[in-house]
Amino acid sequence: MRLARLLRVSSLLAPLALPAQSPANPADFKSWHLESVAPNIYAFIAPDGITPIVSGNSIVIIGDDGVLIVDTGQFPSVAKQEIAAIKKLTPLPVRYIVNTHWHPDHWLGNGSFKAAWPNAVIITTPNTAEKMAGKAQQFLSPKYVEGVQQYLKGYFADTVKHPEAEAAYYHYGEMQFSTFGAELASAVMTPPDLLLGDALTVRLGKREVQVMFLGRANTAGDAVVYVPDAKVVATGDLLVNPYPYGYGSFISEWVETLARVAALNATTIIPGHGAVEHDTVYLGKVSRLLQTLQRQTAEAVKQGKTLKETQEQMDYAPAIAEFCGSSAWCAYVFKGNFFVPAVPRAYKEAKEGKLKDEG
């Protein structure tokens, strides 16, 4: 869930100040739109907006004798709506579900899909399966929701005058968490059935779907799904538009993994969040960003700089201009969601070599 990205419990102790100018939140943060991506390939694109909780995109790949789903989203209620929409698209059963990584906004709908298609096989990487059963659980408990709600209650009871944009953001979070507890209560925690090695070819009749682990990147277990006959690739959070997330990431390996994605020569890329892409321009931007971060951090370590000194001397301006243009909102959230967590990861990597885990 993106509370773990934008409004992390650990950082709730320091109120999040947003710029005064920010885009409108979606009228319904659990809405989505269905987009036809290629012949018999569809994407449920989740809404944009400044919201503490969001959901990942879900992809529907229809073959001759069955369907494969990539990611099942954050909200069981939305998963049920998507299931109804899929049944209108095709009478064929969902035979496979791929969870691209362990963040709950990409798999909390598993139980709803399994209820609709009990024989569906859920596929993911060993690392993702481990994190789903372990690290992810802290975000899926009533205690977590209650803790956030308690913080927000104290925030609004405070007599200090809060910045207008910050208060609006927290009010939106308050609304989201008033309903998120019910979503968690209705979720059936459904683990994967099949663990992926480096690659698995799934056949949906004549249509071939390749499920691959191309290397560590945004997490230690990112899975990528490629449909060769349509030249469509679903990347999970290897790519997130309009800015990448940096939490727990593997900076140098991410660059290498993106190069392997580019080598697939897909003409359509469906990111974990954000609009469908029809070229590799954005992929190239993210790769260059990671390489610049890696280079600047390595130079700081070579100079004997501390992490704090490295963070202070980082030149964020060119990347912010490239990714955000003149958007004050994008600049703020991009820095908080990428640079704040990614610089320490790159610094640690520069000092110690390849990282052992997500931290």
The predicted-structure confidence for 318-354, as pLDDT tens digits, reads as follows 999 999 888 776 777 788 889 999 999 999 999 999 9
How many CB atoms lie under 10 A from the CB of residue 113? Answer: 26
- My answer on whether 131 and 214 are in the same domain is yes
Q: Of 226, 249, 280, which marks where a domain is finished?
A: 280
Structure tokens at 48: 């944009």
Per-residue pLDDT at 194: 97
What is the CA 222 to chain-centroid distance, rounded? 11
The phi, psi pair for 310, rounded to 5°, reads: -65, -45
pLDDT tens digits along 65-89:
999 999 999 999 999 999 999 999 9
Cα within 13 Å of Cα(223), Cβ side: 33
Q: Is residue 204 part of a domain?
A: yes
Specify whether the CB–CB gap between 63 and 57 falls below 8 A.
no
Whether pTM exceeds 0.75:
yes
What's the token pair of residue 354? 């390849």
Residues 276, 301: one domain? Answer: no
The amino acid at residue 184 is L
Q: What pLDDT sits at residue 127?
A: 97
Residue 7 lies in a domain: yes
- Looking at the fold, whether 200 and 320 belong to one and the same domain comes out as no
What is the domain extent for residue 308?
A: 289-352
Of 249, 280, 311, the one marking the end of a domain is 280
**Shortest CA distance to 168 belongs to which of 308, 274, 288, 15?**
15
DSSP of 99-156: --SS-GGGTTTHHHHHHH-TTPEEEE-HHHHHHHHTGGGGGSSHHHHHHHHHHHHHHH
Q: Does 211 lie in the same domain as 324? A: no
Q: Which residue has the tokens 């659980």?
A: 137
- From CA 86, how far away is CA 354, in angstroms rounded? 42
Q: What is the CATH number of the domain that holds 91?
A: 3.60.15.10
What are the backbone angles phi and psi of residue 314, rounded to the nearest 5°?
-60, 140
Tens-place pLDDT, residues 27-68: 677 888 999 999 999 999 987 655 678 789 999 999 999 999
Q: Which of 280, 310, 327 is the last residue of a domain?
A: 280
Q: Which residue ranges of the chain lie beneath pLDDT 50?
A: 1-18, 20-21
Q: Is residue 200 classed as helix, strand or coil in its secondary structure? A: strand
